[in-house]
Amino acid sequence: MPKQSCARILGLMVADSHIRVLPVHVANKIAAGEVVERPVSVAKELIENSIDAGASQIDVEISAGGKKLISVRDNGSGMVRDDAILSIERQATSKIRDVDDIENIHTMGFRGEALAAVASVSRFRLATCRIGEVVGTELLVTGGKIQDVKDIGMPVGTTVEVRDLFFNVPARKKFLRTYQTELTHLRSGFIIQALAHPDLGMSLTIDGQETYRLIADAGLKNRISDLFGPNYLKNFAQVDYSGNGIRVSGYVSAPAFSRSDHNEQYLFVNSRPASAPVLGFALKEGYHTLLPARRYPSVFLFVEMDPGLVDVNVHPTKKEVRFRNPTEVRDSAIAAIHKALSGSADQTVRGSQISSDFTLPRAAETQLRIENLPATRAFQYPRRPFTFSDVEQSRVVQTDNAPEASRDLTNPDTVLWTWCRVVGQIGGLYVVLETEEGLVLMDPHAAHERVLFEKFMDDMTNGKVNVQGLLFPQTVELPAKDAACVRKHLELLETMGFGISTFGGDSFVIDALPAHFAGASAKSFLPEIVQALEESGARNAKGRWREESIARAACKAAVKANDKLTLEEIEKLVADLAAAKMPYTCPHGRPTLIITSFRELNRKFGRT
């Protein structure tokens, strides 16, 4: 083909083309839109760079809600002049070398986009000095263009100052929220990073006023106390669980101290603040029978595992991670929460431990006698206070196959109270108790639900499943997808106490049910079992459905409002609840007890 014809064709292609390569400054601003959502995004990226640099002290300074200034100073390894200049180029990073490194990330950052993105939408200053160097380097950048590079004197480390964020992107700047809103996000972001790395010293200065000064090597417990107050963790149980190469640690709140939002759920994977659907599901399952609907626990949960089994390259801001073996992570997190809540949670929630040589307070030893005091509806008092020995005797002896988290009744520190006096019953329902720590109101229905639920669960765990045959077998037809799930898990359903067999196509015949679920309609609960199998997997579906069905049975069998109870019945119920593994809520998450300590009563009455 003649050269003139080729040139003519190429000219027509260029003239008609709709696809073109964007200029570098436009591409940088688009990247900034992915990485830099608001001022807190800048602070996060800069703090993570300091962590990766091996810093032991990180100081953050904020002005005007981050709109005027975000400064992060560290004492890390620093950079030489050439590295400082390269650091603001896109895809320039010291964290990875080739594609295989992405599969095994040990650092907070690795993309090599953050500094370039931030520098392209701000007035940017970077000052750094490498270990062993005599002088440092100062780099000034405006809107992504280098203005000056010079030598300066400074200590080892790096300081990054970001001023006038989005000054050259008015469309982004007008979407920033009010000063208070952006400041709230910045403080929350600082707290998250401080929790993720309690081994680092950190400080936060807002508009010239130092807000936080956190010492290094504090440990998680002290770091939480420094951020949330010295008494914050008294309502939490410690988490410490290892299995399948996964370690889960931290703190989770007792069911009685839940919230109406998710704002105090801090999740970390290999010290990286991150979310994952599987961890959210594990939290939901861990508190499945402990919290009512729309109530959420507070947690500080750390998951540690082989970095090669975690994919952090999911979101530009690294907010979410994925796991190569999500089932193992989910099961480990659920087991960790269950272990914490059914073990040492009791003594943590009570706020102070009771020693074995505890003596009754003077007010309990000598009861105040008031003449002509009317009797309660169900009984008269005073009665002798029942003690720890009564609680121990009332508990059914555990078998060798009992769960590992069962309570140690020989240790008074693991029971709800060591001494209790039943004062009376009010409103035909609520029971008033006096314990060594204060006043307690108990809902007998919720308390009885919890006691029966744990008894039924123990029977199931120990293989004592009572099966009741149906007089008239029930036929159930399911959608194709659900039917395939049931056929796959027929053996599992039989071990749960269901007599079920195929009946051709997508139909099934049910001729037996667990005894505690007798009288229910198979058409109503079989789809629920399928849903549990799909959501939880085969390993957890049995436990989840078993818990739900037993919770319903316990609710039906428990005492009801306005039921007349004798004093002996109430004392027996109180003793059984005191020895329960999780006495604070019923299986549906409603509280069984409302505890008011003597300290709180003294405060309300103005007594010091």
Count the helix, strand and coil residues of the chain and give each as a percent rounded to the nearest 5: 40, 25, 35
Predicted confidence at residue 106, as pLDDT, reads: 58
Give the pairing of strands 593-597 and 438-442: antiparallel
Cα gap 301→339, rounded to integer Å: 14
**Of 286, 235, 230, residue with least CA distance to 595:** 235
Predicted confidence at residue 156, as pLDDT, reads: 96
The highest-confidence range among 25-29, 60-64, 521-525, by mean pLDDT, is 60-64
Predicted confidence at residue 207, as pLDDT, reads: 95
Compute the average pLDDT of residues 431-457.
Answer: 87
Predicted confidence at residue 135, as pLDDT, reads: 94
Higher pLDDT, 522 or 220: 220
Name the 3-class secondary structure at 67: coil
The CB density around residue 253, as the number of other CB atoms within 10 Å, is 26
Name the 3-class secondary structure at 481: helix
172 half-sphere exposure, CB direction, 13 A CA radius? 21
The highest-confidence range among 89-93, 118-122, 517-521, 556-560, by mean pLDDT, is 118-122
Q: In the structure, what pLDDT confidence band is assigned to residue 312 with cuts at 50, 70 and 90?
A: confident
Backbone φ/ψ region at 269: left (φ over 0), alpha (ψ -120 to 50), beta: beta
Q: Which of 31-35, 123-127, 206-210 has the lowest mean pLDDT?
A: 31-35
132 phi/psi in degrees, rounded to 5: 90, -10
**Of 329, 325, 320, 239, residue with least CA distance to 279:** 329
Compute the average pLDDT of residues 165-171.
Answer: 89
Give me the domains of the chain, ranges plus CATH numbers.
24-215 (3.30.565.10), 231-348 (3.30.230.10), 357-443+561-604 (3.30.1540.20), 465-557 (3.30.1370.100)
The highest-confidence range among 107-116, 182-191, 455-464, by mean pLDDT, is 182-191
Predicted confidence at residue 182, as pLDDT, reads: 94
In the DSSP assignment, the letter for residue 92 is -
User: Could you tell me what percent of the chain has a pLDDT over 90?
Assistant: 30
Residue 557 has pLDDT above 70, yes or no: no
Predicted confidence at residue 27, as pLDDT, reads: 61
Residue 359 has pLDDT above 60, yes or no: no
Predicted confidence at residue 215, as pLDDT, reads: 95
Q: Which of 36-50, 287-301, 389-403, 443-457 has the lowest mean pLDDT?
A: 389-403
Cα gap 151→173, rounded to integer Å: 33
Instruction: Answer for the pair 580, 414: CB distance below 8 angstroms, yes or no.
Output: no
The highest-confidence range among 55-59, 378-382, 411-415, 531-535, by mean pLDDT, is 55-59
Q: In the structure, what pLDDT confidence band is assigned to residue 459 with cuts at 50, 70 and 90?
A: confident
Cα gap 395→602, rounded to integer Å: 34
Counting beta carbons within 10 angstroms of the beta carbon of residue 163, is it exposed (0 to 12), middle (13 to 18) or buried (19 or more)? middle
Instruction: Answer for the pair 555, 587: CB distance below 8 angstroms, yes or no.
Output: yes
Compute the average pLDDT of residues 50-70.
Answer: 95
Q: pLDDT digit string (tens) for 81-100?
A: 988 988 888 655 554 445 55
479 phi/psi in degrees, rounded to 5: -60, 155
Q: In the structure, what pLDDT confidence band is assigned to residue 546 with cuts at 50, 70 and 90?
A: low
How much is the mean pLDDT over the chain? Answer: 78
Cα gap 413→391, rounded to integer Å: 13
DSSP characters over 332-399: HHHHHHHHHHHTTHHHHHTSSPPPTT----HHHHS----TTPPPPSS-----PPEEHHHHHHHSPPPP
Predicted confidence at residue 96, as pLDDT, reads: 42
Strand partners, 206: 62, 209
**Of 340, 266, 284, residue with least CA distance to 540:** 284
Higher pLDDT, 174 or 374: 174
User: CA angle, corner 33, sides to 29 and 36, nearest 5?
Assistant: 110
Higher pLDDT, 123 or 115: 123
Predicted confidence at residue 490, as pLDDT, reads: 83
Instruction: Answer for the pair 322, 276: CB distance below 8 angstroms, yes or no.
Output: yes
Cα gap 375→352, rounded to integer Å: 34
* 54-59 contacts, C-beta under 8 A, 24 or more apart: 55/157, 55/200, 56/200, 56/201, 56/216, 57/200, 57/201, 57/202, 57/216, 58/200, 58/201, 58/202, 58/203, 59/202, 59/203, 59/205
In the DSSP assignment, the letter for residue 135 is S
Residue 364 has pLDDT above 50, yes or no: no
Cα gap 385→567, rounded to integer Å: 12
Predicted confidence at residue 350, as pLDDT, reads: 38
Strand partners, 326: none
Cα gap 154→170, rounded to integer Å: 35
The highest-confidence range among 139-153, 164-178, 492-506, by mean pLDDT, is 139-153
Residue 580 has pLDDT above 50, yes or no: yes
Cα gap 422→450, rounded to integer Å: 19
Q: In the structure, what pLDDT confidence band is assigned to residue 159 with cuts at 50, 70 and 90?
A: very high
The highest-confidence range among 135-139, 174-178, 270-274, by mean pLDDT, is 135-139
Residue 249 has pLDDT above 90, yes or no: yes
Higher pLDDT, 199 or 429: 199
Residue 11 has pLDDT above 90, yes or no: no
Residue 233 C-alpha from the chain's centroid: 15
Q: pLDDT digit string (tens) for 399-437?
A: 333 333 334 434 444 456 777 888 888 877 888 988 888
Predicted confidence at residue 299, as pLDDT, reads: 96
Give the torsion through C-alpha atoms of 35, 40, 45, 48, to 10 deg: -150
Q: Which of 56-60, 62-66, 401-405 has the lowest mean pLDDT?
A: 401-405
In the DSSP assignment, the letter for residue 141 is E
User: CA angle, corner 551, sides to 333 and 409, nearest 5?
Assistant: 70
Task: Report which residue type is found at 61.
Answer: E
406 half-sphere exposure, CB direction, 13 A CA radius? 18
Query: What residues contact 320, with CB distance under 8 A and at least 6 apart?
Result: 274, 275, 276, 314
The pTM of the whole model exceeds 0.75: no
Compute the average pLDDT of residues 458-477.
Answer: 80
Cα gap 298→252, rounded to integer Å: 6
User: CA angle, corner 458, sides to 456 and 463, nearest 5?
Assistant: 100
| Per-position b or e across 36-74, b if 16+ CB within 10 A of its CB | bbbbbbbbbbbbbbbbbbebebbbbbbebbbbebbbbbb
Predicted confidence at residue 518, as pLDDT, reads: 58
**Of 565, 566, 486, residue with least CA distance to 529:** 486
Compute the average pLDDT of residues 206-212.
Answer: 95
Predicted confidence at residue 186, as pLDDT, reads: 95
Strand partners, 433: 422, 440
Handedness of CA 293, 294, 298, 299 (dihedral sign): positive
Compute the average pLDDT of residues 123-140.
Answer: 95
User: Could you tell me what percent of the chain has a pLDDT over 70?
Assistant: 71
* 283-287 contacts, C-beta under 8 A, 24 or more apart: 283/333, 283/337, 285/330, 285/334, 285/536, 285/540, 285/544, 286/252, 286/333, 286/334, 286/336, 286/337, 286/338, 286/341, 287/255, 287/337, 287/341, 287/589
Residue 358 has pLDDT above 50, yes or no: no
357: tokens are 């040589």
Compute the average pLDDT of residues 564-586.
Answer: 83
